[in-house]
């Protein structure tokens, strides 16, 4: 119950305790627990009241001792002293000791206590608002600092993300594996009005097709063999928040129609259930596939495609981001330094050159791994080219990711086989069906190229 305000009354006069409880409970948002002794109060402090009203003359127990004990437990719990007499010096003394206020038992008590609660509630609301603003600022900071890039394609992405924050429009994110699709989805959610709600991510490619319906929409007990208990689905879990459907292109056709119905009707029916219920969920989808091609090939429903398209955000491959590679490299090194309390590391100029020449088939995710390994491998404060180790097999798998000269492609092919066959030239010559001398000539050209002496 978010708006409730918990008040502890400590009063040994049954008559007055009842009266005070009545006054405070006139507002149904106020919850009251009444105690007769200070001992009972201290015993229940773990429930963390929002306010304590403390009778000044509580039998043998002294009000100032109780104030000290409460303040030792939690200095932020406000204590109001309720006294049968107006004694200015006592009031001042108790206020100095940490009492929030001092009120006299008379016919005005009700108004006084109500005003105090009103002010305290305003304080609580202000504190909550402040915390929320802090969180939002933190998220905003995350958004701009964890997604680094000065390149034009990334600036376009940031602009689109800003636009996505203002409405509940469905966002479709495309991009190669490792380009940061989930980070964009989180960036949008945590900076949007839905940030207080949950962010629920589901990877369609990671869940067996026979389980995905139950995963997305939940199931009733006994819906199928093994469904021993009722389970809520990801859409229900994401209610009032955002559901992120990653690899949406991998969803099979049968489920595509069910997803379409959920998106159209904004209602979910659990597997094995016959009742539907409303949901309020923002949908962000992502895929590394070209969905238009999937639609043309009949593997993706056209109506769902248009329903999901919403605001399309295309994440560029890292090798299309120019000098972002260097900015990101430095960013990942700094993050790694902070996490591991390392001294400051810098990239040698040749290391920068090496990075810029690489195609990064694994995109930002690969760059991060490479830079973390480089930070570990470096001996001094400088990351040398030898510390930068690329994965040997990936370049071939993504050979066509960037446009290069035929000569550069040749270098990549030779480099790939050198690593694959442990520099066994004879074996490489056999595989490529070329002479050994051709390979040696290419190796010479590669060395010249690396040294900047290659004339082509």
Partner 1 sequence: MKKGTTQDERLRVLIDLTKGDDDFIREMLGIFIKNTPEAIANLQLSLKSEDFSSVSAGAHKLKSSIQILGDSELHELIRKIENNSKSGIKSNELIEMIEKLNHELNSLISWMKKRLEDPKKFT
Task: Give the residues lining the site for partner 1 (CB under 8 A).
Answer: 13-16, 18-19, 22-23, 57, 84-85, 105-107, 110
d(CA 34, CA 213): 51
CB of 40 to partner 1, least distance (A): 19
d(CA 287, CA 448): 41
For helices 406-420 and 425-432, the axis angle rounded to 10 degrees is: 130
CB of 62 to partner 1, least distance (A): 14
The answer to whether the beta carbons of residues 154 and 314 sit under 8 Å apart is no
- The distance between the two most distant Cα atoms of the chain, rounded to a whole number of Å, is 108
Sign, CA torsion 300/306/311/317: positive
CB of 28 to partner 1, least distance (A): 14
Place of tokens 């207080």: 196
For residue 9, give the H/E element and its range. Answer: strand 5-10
For residue 277, give the H/E element and its range. Answer: strand 276-278
> Would you say 23 or 288 has its CB closer to partner 1?
23
> Would you say 105 or 163 has its CB closer to partner 1?
105
> Would you say 18 or 48 has its CB closer to partner 1?
18
> Would you say 87 or 357 has its CB closer to partner 1?
87
Q: DSSP state, 99?
A: -
d(CA 232, CA 234): 7
For residue 329, give the H/E element and its range. Answer: helix 324-340
CB of 102 to partner 1, least distance (A): 15
> Would you say 108 or 129 has its CB closer to partner 1?
108
CB of 265 to partner 1, least distance (A): 48
> Would you say 23 or 189 has its CB closer to partner 1?
23
> Would you say 23 or 194 has its CB closer to partner 1?
23
CB of 110 to partner 1, least distance (A): 6
Q: Which of 245, 252, 254, 276 is nearest to 170 (CA)?
A: 245
For residue 417, give the H/E element and its range. Answer: helix 406-420
Which tokens go with 413?
């092919």
CB of 59 to partner 1, least distance (A): 10
The answer to whether the beta carbons of residues 309 and 302 sit under 8 Å apart is no
> Would you say 105 or 404 has its CB closer to partner 1?
105
CB of 114 to partner 1, least distance (A): 12
d(CA 236, CA 223): 17
CA 387 and chain centroid, separation? 32
CB of 61 to partner 1, least distance (A): 14
Q: Which of 43, 66, 46 is nearest to 54 (CA)?
A: 66
> Would you say 86 or 150 has its CB closer to partner 1?
86
CB of 36 to partner 1, least distance (A): 13
Give how far Cα 306 sits from Cα of 171, 263, 396, Å: 11, 12, 35
> Would you say 84 or 312 has its CB closer to partner 1?
84
d(CA 165, CA 118): 34
d(CA 399, CA 395): 6
* 74 three-class SS: coil
């Amino acid at each position: 119950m978010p708006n409730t305000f918990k008040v502890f009354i400590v009063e040994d006069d049954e008559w007055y305790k009842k009266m005070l409880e009545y006054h405070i409970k006139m507002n149904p948002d106020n919850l009251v627990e009444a105690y007769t002794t200070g001992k009972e109060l201290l015993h229940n402090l773990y429930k963390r009241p929002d306010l304590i009203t403390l009778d000044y003359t509580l039998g043998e127990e002294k009000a100032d001792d109780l104030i000290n004990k409460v303040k030792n437990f939690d200095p932020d719990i406000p204590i109001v002293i309720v006294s049968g007499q107006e004694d200015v010096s006592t009031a001042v003394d108790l206020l100095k000791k940490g009492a929030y206020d001092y009120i006299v038992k008379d016919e005005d008590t009700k108004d006084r206590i109500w005003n105090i609660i009103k002010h305290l509630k305003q304080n609580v609301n202000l504190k909550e608002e402040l915390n929320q603003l802090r969180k939002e600022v933190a998220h905003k900071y995350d958004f701009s600092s964890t997604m680094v890039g000065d390149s034009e394609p990334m600036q376009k992405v940031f602009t689109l993300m800003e636009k996505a924050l203002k409405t509940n429009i469905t966002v479709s994110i495309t991009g190669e594996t490792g380009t940061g699709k989930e980070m964009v989805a989180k960036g949008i959610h945590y900076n949007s009005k839905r940030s207080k709600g949950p962010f629920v991510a589901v990877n369609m490619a990671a869940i067996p097709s026979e389980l995905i319906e139950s995963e997305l929409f939940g199931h009733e007990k006994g819906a199928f063999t093994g469904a021993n208990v009722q389970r809520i689905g990801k859409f229900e879990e994401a209610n009032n928040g955002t559901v992120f459907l990653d690899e949406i292109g991998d969803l099979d056709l049968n489920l595509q129609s069910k997803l379409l119905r959920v998106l159209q009707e904004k209602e979910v029916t659990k597997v094995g259930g016959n009742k539907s219920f409303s949901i309020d969920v923002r949908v962000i989808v992502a895929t590394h596939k070209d969905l238009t091609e999937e639609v043309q090939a009949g593997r993706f429903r056209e109506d769902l495609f248009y329903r999901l398209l919403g605001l399309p955000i295309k994440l560029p491959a890292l090798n299309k981001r120019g000098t972002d590679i260097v900015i990101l490299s430095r960013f990942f090194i700094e993050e790694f330094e902070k996490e591991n309390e390392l001294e400051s590391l810098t990239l040698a100029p040749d290391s920068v050159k090496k990075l810029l020449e690489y195609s990064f088939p694994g995109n930002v995710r690969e760059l991060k791994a490479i830079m973390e390994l480089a930070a570990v491998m470096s001996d001094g404060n400088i990351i040398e080219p030898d510390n930068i180790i690329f994965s040997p097999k990936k370049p071939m798998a993504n050979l066509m990711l960037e446009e290069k000269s035929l000569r550069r492609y040749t270098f990549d092919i030779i480099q790939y086989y050198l690593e694959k066959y442990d520099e066994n030239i004879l074996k490489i010559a056999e595989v490529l069906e070329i002479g050994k001398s051709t390979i040696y000539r290419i190796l010479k050209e590669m060395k010249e190229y690396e040294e900047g002496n290659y004339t082509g």
